[in-house]
Amino acid sequence: MDIGVGLPSTVPGAAGAELIGFAKRAEELGFSTLAVLDRLVYDSYDSLVALAAAAAVTERITLASTILLAAYRPSAAELAKQLASIDRLSGGRLVLGVAAGGREDDFAATGVPYRRRGALLDRLLEDLVEVWSGGGQVPGIGPKPVRDRIPIWIGGHSEAALARAAKHGIGWISPGGSAAAYPDLVERATTAFAAAGRDDKPKMAAMTYVGLGEDNASRGAQYLRDYYSYIGPKAEFLAKGLISDEGRLRETIDNYAAAGCDELLLFPTTADPGQLDQLAKVAFA
C-alpha cells in the first residue's frame, strides 16, 4: 500500500513558507502523493493554487485534489484549463479527486444550486474530458494535459457516487472512517466497476487525520471541530478519531493495507514540516 500525505492548506494560520517547506519535505521523505482538501467558505488556501505552488517546488511526488468540490465551480472550460496547467507545470503528476460535496454554504457562495450538485458534477466531468480532447463549446482551449486526460478519483458513499467512479474514474476514495468497514467499500466499488462493463480493478484510496504529539493532538482536535462544524455533533466524533500516537498510526496503516486499500493519505492537522518526519518514521518502518 502506498502512503501519501495531505498538504495542510486548510489548517488555520499556516504560513505560505510552511506549506512550501512541507511540500518539499514530503517528496524528500518518499511519500507517494501530496494531496489537498477543498473548501470555499473557510479561512484556507485555494486548493488548486496550493497544488500549483507545490508543483513548482517538487519533481516526483504525485499531486492530488482529495477532494475538489468541482460542481460549485461555474465554468468547466476554465477549470479544465486550470487543471491542465497544473498537470503541465508538474510534468503530468496531477490526479483529480472530485465528489459532489456536502457543504451547502460553499454552493450558496457561488450561486450554484446545492440540490443539483450531483447532476452538475456528472456534466462537468463530461465537459472536462471534452475540453482536454480539444473540443467543447469553444474548441481550442489549452494547454492539454501531459496524458490524454488527467486521472480522476471519485469520492462519496452513495450508489450514484460509485456509479460515477465506475464511469469516469480510476477508482474511489473514502473520506475517512473505520478501516473495519473498508472491505465492504472495496466490494461495492469493485461491483460498480463490473456493472459498468469494466475489467480493471478500481484503485482504492482512503484518508485519515493525524496529529502526533500531545500539543498537536489538542490543536488538531480543535481544528477538526471547527472545520467540520457544519455537520454538528458528528464533528466531535471526527475530533476524537484524530490519530495522535505512533502505535495507533501503525495499527491504522496495517489495518487499511489488510482491508484492500491501495493508497492511504495521512492528513496532518499541523503545518509544521517536522510532523512529516514523525509520520515517515512510522509509515516506512
Give me the mean pLDDT over the 184-212 stretch.
96
Inter-axis angle of helices 159-168 and 117-132, nearest 10: 0
**Is 96 exposed, middle or buried, given 0-12, 13-18 or 19+ CB atoms closer than 10 A?**
buried
Q: What is the pLDDT of residue 69?
A: 95
pLDDT of residue 214: 87
Separation CA 102–CA 246 (nearest Å): 31
Q: Give the contacts of 202 (CB within 8 A, at least 6 positions apart).
A: 165, 166, 169, 170, 171, 172, 189, 190, 192, 193
Strand, coil or helix: what is 172?
strand
200: pLDDT strictly greater than 90:
yes
Helix axes 76-89, 117-132, angle to 10 degrees: 50
CB 127 within 8 A of CB 75: no
Average pLDDT, the chain: 95
pTM for the whole thing? 0.96
pLDDT at 177 over 90: no
178 — pLDDT class (breaks 50, 70, 90): confident
Domains by residue range for the chain, with CATH: 2-284 (3.20.20.30)
DSSP bridge partners of 208: 266
Instruction: Report the share of the chain in percent with pLDDT over 90.
Output: 92
Residue 78: CB atoms within 10 Å? 12
